[in-house]
Structure 1
């Protein structure tokens, strides 16, 4: 027996496809057989499995568990919940050697997929290709693993509440906060969490519904924050927090309804953390504002610019011992008093904690940030065979930069000039190039965009229609 996957589903950071087209129960079963065999060969034996609120998730979970048990792995089923709850099950138990969450994250309702942890580290890139090869060869171990159910929701909520330990209770009790679960998998945990929090809390869309009837659960798209903005304005709240479909990415707005983007949230978290851990290394991806890197330095930290991708950032944190990292996309990782995985519910509590400890409202913290002018992330279709080649051509043309211009090739090309910066990188997950620019003025941004367009033209490309996510 063997199983060959549709090649489009074996992606850089996870396995993801369209139900009934590229992803079915047989695929889930084969993922279980292959992952389980790889884990047993590495000396592991127990896998935690969770799933999100999508309509197809229970069917995939059933098949995945069958496959894991047939490979001789013992399975701990934690049921429906946010992806970070699965990460918590894996990180907090010495008995668990790996974890798989079935989730389509923020993709359309007909998508689903698998995020995996292998012996405490992210399972991605080469690992996923190896899993495909093990499956295609039918190189599976056989056995009969045990299957047990574990309800960890209350333990998980209690552990998150530790984020508020030692903080002035009065400061917290005065907070008024709006929360939007977007009908995603974070809803049940959010309800339990908020019931135990000081302050005044207002909840939106905590009922899990895989059709996402109210708005799409991607808090990095401002249009999806309209309901939260209306709630914060209508009830005169201090700030609002929103989650993606599986609860590992955070979105936030201040009391005036202004979006606090991923890099701006990291500025707040960094200022709070550096007050307690001076000289700490803080990591952000190449899309982040220069204001963030400056802010970390100003507060005595050591900023590191790294590649985009939650698995890549988690790996870099382990390597550098960094206590805090984040991405523009809203993945934030705390490893100071937490486990170093991306957990948007926990990040929401840390926003409360930072505001209380710094003695400033979230609105004030947002207002204190420099007013940079930046473009949204522009994504445009480029033929798969050209996307990395084009970036290499740009790198060669620019070399190491000229007077006053700095070229960073950590992930694509990021060019820094005296009045701003621009970025051009190839997406790891789609046939698109991603561009972004930020400057001190509208004029600077126009000039930087012209530089991007010039480089694209020299490679026979143009910034065409923006591609969706």
Structure 2
């Protein structure tokens, strides 16, 4: 492979001289269910990054691999963490395929598209505050999470690193062009005339997807208005989290002023998608999945589609009505990717805007590819995204209700309530916590995998129904001595 150095104008990191230790103990908060995440300068340092690399090198080598792809997002701490991570991998005898500054989907592509790459690590803080950072890991095309991350921490803490005779090497490659060419296949068979009249807004939020968006739109029909595509870890315009409506105001304002017909927004590492329609309404994750599902099931009747436990019942009912198999999944991008491989689902999504495609793609979450699939779905269905949103039933739904339970383990609290529900003969789904169905709709109670908190959500077709659902939830919480604040 020809090595091409392309840093998209960002500062090239300097590899630290010495970070080697005999063993290393991570801050417990760094080891999360889905990935590794900490606060730069407090719970996360270059030594942590070196230890992640050294430990992951041992895991990869024991699995028979020798090459790992590494990328990093635009946060101010990312270059230093990436440099230390690369050193740790090399010290562990791994050849590093360094793809440079890149959104997470490009890192996944670097693994999925190359048989000689056996794992990948993206340095990213995703949508978290700008002083946060961390690592998303992939082993052999499979998500690396849960017990895998716990075991990585154990290897580092005990220093059980495989001894190697030779340090690994570094390959620096530019995959941007190949990646853009690949995701453009989402529009295969689509008449360009269906997109040409559109004025499309793209808001990268100064995150890592910006340079690829600039490159992508040069190949697309239609008119394109770009917002905040320069990479800037200060996030000077708004925070890159498309699930918060205040971060979508530039797109909403552009729709209201007649500047654009539809808008796409991205999080800091480009794996979560937000959509604003032609009336300035935000389409939440389950509504985006509903559009994608309608399109997919017209082409793949009977396909299995997954959505996380927070998603609207409207989505699950629509999938069934269109002849698909609807499956509730636990919340979490790694859990959903793993579940898709186990169940054979070809499409999945969650409320946070992670969208996963396994029909004509690799099965991972990719917001840029997802935006193209939304455009393709609109053309194939012969309706604008606005019209497709208009056709969805109106429901009354809460946002995520997050609350602490001082002195009580959240998982134990949920388990206690589940036991009472079973004793009472209540109908509920226990995929992730308890999703209780009543004639009024449903409510959900689960323990957060990222914070010591409980999370709840409820949906009804009527306002009174929603009030009754919340009263039922509060009564169940009260039976366990918990008050929702």
Partner of 2:190: 167
Rounded Cα–Cα distance in structure 1 between residues aligned with 2:146 and 2:465 = 37
Aligned partner of 2:215 among 178, 186, 192: 192
Q: Does 1:357 align with 2:380?
A: yes
Shift of 1:406: 2.3
Pairing 1:432-451 to 2, within 5 Å after superposition: 432-451=453-472
Shift of 1:173: 1.3
Q: Does 1:387 align with 2:410?
A: yes
Provide Cα deviations, 1:21-70, integer angstroms capped at 9, x if missing partner.
11000110011000001100110010000000000000000000000001
Aligned partner of 2:396 among 373, 384, 392: 373
Q: Does 1:113 align with 2:134?
A: yes
Secondary structure (helix, strand or coil) at the match of 2:299 reads coil
Shift of 1:184: 0.4
Aligned partner of 2:419 among 389, 396, 417: 396
Q: Does 1:180 align with 2:227?
A: no
Aligned partner of 1:278 among 287, 301, 304: 301
Q: Is the 8 A contact 1:453 1:462 kept in 2?
A: yes
Shift of 1:223: 1.3
Partner of 2:356: 333
Aligned partner of 1:348 among 360, 371, 388: 371
Q: Is the 8 A contact 2:440 2:469 kept in 1?
A: no
Rounded Cα–Cα distance in structure 1 between residues aligned with 2:110 and 2:85 = 17
Q: Is the 8 A contact 2:275 2:282 kept in 1?
A: yes
Partner of 2:158: 137
In structure 1, the gaps of 5 or more residues are: 465-469
Provide Cα deviations, 1:110-141, integer angstroms capped at 9, x if missing partner.
10000000011000000001011111111112
Shift of 1:237: 2.5
> How well do the aligned residues superpose, as a CA RMSD in angstroms?
1.0
C-alpha distance 171-425 of structure 1, shift in aligned 2 (>3 A): same
Deviates more, 1:173-182 or 1:365-374: 173-182
Q: Is the 8 A contact 1:413 1:425 kept in 2?
A: yes
Rounded Cα–Cα distance in structure 2 between residues aligned with 1:263 and 1:120 = 26
Secondary structure (helix, strand or coil) at the match of 1:275 reads helix
Q: Is the 8 A contact 2:302 2:324 kept in 1?
A: yes
Q: Is the 8 A contact 2:440 2:468 kept in 1?
A: no
Provide Cα deviations, 1:279-306, integer angstroms capped at 9, x if missing partner.
0000001000000001101111000001
Q: Does 1:158 align with 2:199?
A: no
TM (norm. structure 1) is 0.97
In structure 2, the gaps of 5 or more residues are: 1-21
Secondary structure (helix, strand or coil) at the match of 2:409 reads helix
Rounded Cα–Cα distance in structure 2 between residues aligned with 1:20 and 1:121 = 30
Partner of 1:467: none
Shift of 1:382: 2.1
Partner of 2:68: 47
Pairing 1:405-416 to 2, within 5 Å after superposition: 406-416=427-437
Rounded Cα–Cα distance in structure 2 between residues aligned with 1:272 and 1:225 = 26
Aligned partner of 1:422 among 443, 446, 452: 443
Rounded Cα–Cα distance in structure 1 between residues aligned with 2:221 and 2:110 = 26
- Displacement over 4 Å in runs of 4+: none
C-alpha distance 454-426 of structure 1, shift in aligned 2 (>3 A): same
Rounded Cα–Cα distance in structure 1 between residues aligned with 2:176 and 2:85 = 21
Rounded Cα–Cα distance in structure 2 between residues aligned with 1:289 and 1:382 = 26
Rounded Cα–Cα distance in structure 1 between residues aligned with 2:61 and 2:86 = 15
Size of the aligned set, in residue pairs, is 462
Deviates more, 1:135-144 or 1:267-276: 135-144
Shift of 1:384: 7.2
Provide Cα deviations, 1:385-426, integer angstroms capped at 9, x if missing partner.
420111111111111765xx6211110010111221000000
Q: Is the 8 A contact 1:176 1:238 kept in 2?
A: yes
Provide Cα deviations, 1:156-197, integer angstroms capped at 9, x if missing partner.
011010000101121121222111100000000010001110
Aligned partner of 1:265 among 288, 295, 302: 288
Provide Cα deviations, 1:4-27, integer angstroms capped at 9, x if missing partner.
111111111111101111100011
Secondary structure (helix, strand or coil) at the match of 1:246 reads coil
Q: Does 1:206 align with 2:200?
A: no
Rounded Cα–Cα distance in structure 1 between residues aligned with 2:167 and 2:423 = 57
Rounded Cα–Cα distance in structure 2 between residues aligned with 1:82 and 1:190 = 11
Shift of 1:235: 3.0
Rounded Cα–Cα distance in structure 2 between residues aligned with 1:235 and 1:177 = 11
